[in-house]
Chain A
Amino acid sequence: MLSGNVCAACSPRSKKPWVADRMRDTKRGVRLYRLLLLTFPPAFRREFGADMTELLATRLEEEGRGAAARTRIWLEVLGDLATEVPKEWARTITMTPRGGERMSMGGWFQDLRLGARNLVRRPGFTAAAAGTLALGIGAVVALFSVVHGVLLTPLPYPDSERVVVLWKTDIARGGRSNTVDHPDIAAWRGAAPGFDLAGYAGSRPTLTGLGDPEVIEIARVTHGLLSVFGVAPILGRDLTEDDDVPDGPRVAVVSRDFWQSRLGARPDAVGELIELNGEAWEVVGVAPPGFRFPDNTKAWVPRRHDVSDCGHGCNIMRAVGRLPSGSTAEAVEQRLAGVDRALSEEFPDSHRDDGTDLQSMHEYLVADVQTALFILMAAVGMVLLIACANVANLMAVRAAGRTGELAVRSALGASGGRLVRQLFAEALVLAGFAGAAGLILAALGVEALTALAPSDLPRADEIGLDGTSVAFGLALTVFVAVLFGVMPARRAASTSVATTLRSAERGSGHHRAGLSRGLLLAGEVSLSLTLLLGAGLMFRTLQEMRSVDLGFRPDGVERFRISAPESRYDTEGALQFFDELEDRLSAIPGVTAVGHGFGVPFSSGSIGTGMSFPDRPPVDEPDQPGVSVRPVSPGYLDALGLKLVSGRWFNPSDRADVPAVAVLNEAAVRAHMSDTDPIGRRFDLPMSWGFDEQPTWTVVGVVADVRGRESTQPEVPAVYLPNAQFGSNVVYFTIRRGNGGASALPAARRALASLDPEIAPTGMESLAEAIARASADTRFYLTLLTVFSGLALLLAGVGLYGVVAYTVSQRAREIGIRRALGAGEGNVVGMVMRQGVAPAVLGVVVGLGGAWYAGRALSSLLYGIRPYDPLTLLSVTALLLAVVAVATLVPARRASRIAPATALRDD
């Protein structure tokens, strides 16, 4: 039925990661690792840091091929640090300054108990600190569960890393496509010993005879698909080479879900007949649980392919393979290259410049979401860092408030190490509270994420809070405890008793403490700015996407997809059936226009081919200009709201028995016929659908471009053909309603059932819904980045407020004296605000640098705006500064009301 060079889903041009990329990544990785090593006690870092860094660099260089491999290495490294850094600190802290002597475990338990008691005694402080941390930990663990389920867990097949996707590359022109032809598969099969290979193509026939008719996903496959994945039927047999011949037996392997839901899970279901598009297929086997490849597939049937129908260059299948054990993708690629060379010599028309690339199935499935998930992971990581900085500040403030107590205890004989350990134990207990609460939040977060996630998120069913995620959460908790517990503990250790007592007496803060608090604040502000910019850019992207001119009017348009089964409808019959259905749909009250067509905007499925011109010198097929083919009915123009630019549109008399006509879109005119007036020009397409002849088409009109699969993608060159002259038996019906009418879909369903009750419509929805779905991932990223940046802003604001308020309380006496000496309210407000504003401004400056990185990382997710969009940058900076102003103004105003007498009373 289908012939010609069809590319059902050619991918955009892309290249393999180059070695240079890996080297750059390694360099970047080494820099990051050096930073991470700062969390170790200095002595250990000085002694082993360089060796450890070199070890990591070698590993990244030798094993970091592909983003998935690098991610795995990094996660292991982070886990390694999360477990070893606390141990090293615990060891350092429990050694007394003179070294050698270790404290007993009993001492540790005592300190943990003491820490817990201290925390419980101050529920306000504890709730604020633990709550802050729990938010950060919860967010990180929830997102880690997604990353883990989608990116890190191997696919659920035995030795799944050996499963690969085959890409056909064009060596001369670059670019690649994952559709191949039948002879390719046959030729590749023998390429390398032990290399298993299978081809497949999805199909959506209507299942009848078992309750209501239903369109189900099936795959038409060559033999050997299950063994490529290393699985075997749990019942009956697999499809064999003998099934996969023209006019072979109609047999099917069904999924376990199908076997359970439709065949009652009966062991004797093997041998039963199921009816697909009106033809009977015998069930010969049941696939193992969970096997649904390529997409939610319910049944696998042999292709029964006739190569004389669709042979070399008829690229309508995809191919998957299983590498021989012990072999590598490169080795197999080399063998395949030999096969490709032989093919291109023998069949230069269809195989010239062919090459083959292998990509791991895992990478193939997750490639689209990888970047976005990493960005979100980085974003939550920043939220956690901000939370840690806040808590570190809180702890430092507390420790400063307790210097007197600590000094007295020290004077009474407690060693410095003992005091440090006590503070550290308190941090551990606090992190423990936070970790427990964080895991609960993470469990809720995972549910929210899976509910919010766009429906095309790969492997979404494998996301969950499993043991690994929990372990990650626990390691993270300890890591966090070290991060915020070390600073105050070390400061307490470094302060001499005499200094502490002297300064406690005077009631003034330490200069160094103030400095590190300021730096922490600056860090918080800069991270917040980075996150805010990310959210701002996504917001602007969504706005731009919404304001794109789609080239048609989607309001009030509804549609559904049907296919007229070949077993009951020949081409003429299908076309007549579609016309009758169009008449009935037009009769529905409120409907103003009805049309049908294939390759319509925001739908699945498209037909691509090369075009040639009888009045130009012939070109080889691979060099022919490509077009998208859109067979449509005359009513389609009005139903979709397409704009006719010149010439005429189709009318009902454009049928198979009159000269074939075509309407181009503007993109096709620009690309292929910009030299002359396109009207009246003629072209050939090396394909047809429902008819045997391949007519020469004459251009009669030009229509405006439409946005197709996504509103962000520019229109491709396309030709519209009357379906009456093309004969597609799969179409989308498009129904336009008058203003404000109720949905026409229920009536449409009845109209369809009255014509043919055996045909099940799919994808019944309004066009607006389909368009919204196309931007679902952008909205998902926007939602998450908004939540994260909002959280960051809140935490930074609270942190700023806390520090300034603390400073005010510490300096109350000094402020009182200043007031007594004549300082005005304005002077005091200004002086106090500087405490918060100075670090905030430093943070903004640093944050602008971070924003530059963030913009670059996000650039692949953006549309219509530049990563360094000045307006977005200005607005988020203004928002951040407003929060800074409020957070510092409140305590500053309070300070300005301090009465001069306070200075006296405090003494």
Chain B
Amino acid sequence: MPTNSESPVDFLPLHPESLRILLALRDEPLHGYAIVKVLERDPERAGRVLPANLYRRMRTLRDQGLIAESRAVGEAVEGASERRRYFEMTPVGRAVARAERERLRGLLAEVEEALGS
């Protein structure tokens, strides 16, 4: 249920994993496996992105209106009866990601003030 009337700040803090999914979709619509490949560019996380976890997060992001299924692209997968579904970042998602950046900056500033940078 898209709830576009809410302010981006209402979605914070974002789970780091959800934030990464959001960021993976910043430039172009991607399908599930492509998102996994982007996330796994970080060698620490290679093989750690799992289907159920990923799609539950994507469903939540979608319900929150931060990402949306892309109607523009889509490719027929050979041998598969269904098309791969592509997701893209929505303007709300972009705003939330920026808001999260500000929140993290603020947090980092607090840490640096306490412990030194």
Contact = CB atoms under 8 A, between A and B. Distances in A.
Contact of B33 (A44, A58, A80, A84): A58
A88 B54 CA distance: 13
Nearest to B51: A52
A51 B32 contact: yes
Nearest to A83: B53
B84 interface: yes
A80 B51 contact: yes
Given A50-B82, A54-B80, A80 B52 contact: yes
Contacts of A47: 59
B47 to A, nearest CB: 7
B1 interface: yes
Interface in B72-94: 77, 80, 82, 84-85
B47 A48 contact: no
B68 interface: no
Contacts of B59: 44, 47-48
A632 B58 CA distance: 73
B91 to A, nearest CB: 23
Contacts of B55: 48, 51-52
A88 B77 CA distance: 28
A85 B52 CA distance: 8
A77 B53 CA distance: 10
A878 interface: no
Contacts of A84: 52-53, 56
A99 B32 contact: no
B36 interface: yes
Contacts of A99: 1
A241 interface: no
Nearest to A49: B55
A56 B56 contact: no
Contact of A51 (B48, B50, B53, B85): B85
Interface string A71-85: 011001101110111
A55 B32 contact: yes
Contacts of A54: 32-33, 77, 80, 84
Interface in B25-40: 31-33, 36
A618 interface: no
B47 A81 contact: no
Most buried by B among A44, A54, A63, A87: A54
A211 interface: no
A737 B54 CA distance: 70
Nearest to A69: B47
B36 A55 contact: yes
Contact of A80 (B50, B80, B82): B50
A613 B65 CA distance: 84
A85 B55 CA distance: 12
A59 B32 CA distance: 12
Contact of A87 (B47, B50, B56): B56
Contacts of B36: 55, 59
A63 B49 CA distance: 13
Contacts of A81: 52
Contacts of B58: 48
Contact-residue bracket for chain B: 20 to 34
B47 A63 contact: yes
Interface string B1-40: 1000000000000000000000000000001110010000
A55 B33 contact: yes
B56 A77 contact: no
A52 B31 CA distance: 11
A88 B63 CA distance: 14
Given A76-B50, A77-B50, A99-B1, A51 B56 contact: no
B65 to A, nearest CB: 14
A597 to B, nearest CB: 52
A78 to B, nearest CB: 10
A99 B51 CA distance: 25
A100 interface: yes
Interface string A92-118: 000000011000000000000000000
Contact of B52 (A52, A58, A63, A73): A52
A828 B52 CA distance: 50
A54 B51 CA distance: 9
Contacts of A48: 55, 58-59
A40 B82 CA distance: 20
A87 B55 CA distance: 13
Interface string A418-429: 000000000000
Contact of A76 (B32, B47, B77): B47
Contacts of A59: 36, 47
Contacts of B33: 54-55, 58
Contacts of B32: 51-52, 54-55
Contacts of A56: 51
Nearest to A56: B51
Contacts of B47: 59, 63, 72-73, 76
B53 A80 contact: yes
Given A99-B1, A100-B1, A55 B56 contact: no
Contacts of A58: 33
A434 B6 CA distance: 43
Contacts of A88: 56
Most buried by A among B52, B59, B80, B82: B52
A84 B55 CA distance: 10
Most buried by A among B32, B58, B80: B32
Contacts of A80: 50-53
B51 A55 contact: yes
Interface in A282-312: none
B11 to A, nearest CB: 15
Most buried by B among A51, A53, A63: A51
Most buried by A among B51, B56, B58, B84: B51
Contacts of A72: 47
Contacts of A52: 32, 51-52, 55
A51 B31 CA distance: 9
Most buried by B among A52, A88, A99: A52
Contacts of B80: 50, 54
Contacts of A79: 50
Contacts of A73: 47
30 contacts: A40-B52, A44-B59, A47-B59, A48-B55, A48-B58, A48-B59, A51-B31, A51-B84, A51-B85, A52-B51, A52-B52, A54-B80, A54-B84, A55-B54, A58-B33, A59-B36, A59-B47, A72-B47, A76-B47, A76-B50, A77-B50, A80-B51, A81-B52, A83-B53, A84-B52, A84-B53, A84-B56, A87-B56, A88-B56, A100-B1
Given A51-B51, A59-B47, A76-B48, 4 more contacts: A48-B59, A76-B50, A83-B52, A84-B52
Interface of A: 40, 44, 47-48, 50-56, 58-59, 63, 72-73, 76-77, 79-81, 83-85, 87-88, 99-100
Interchain residue pairs A-B with the least CB separation, the first 8: A80-B50, A84-B52, A52-B51, A48-B55, A55-B51, A80-B52, A51-B32, A55-B32
Interface of B: 1, 31-33, 36, 47-48, 50-56, 58-59, 77, 80, 82, 84-85
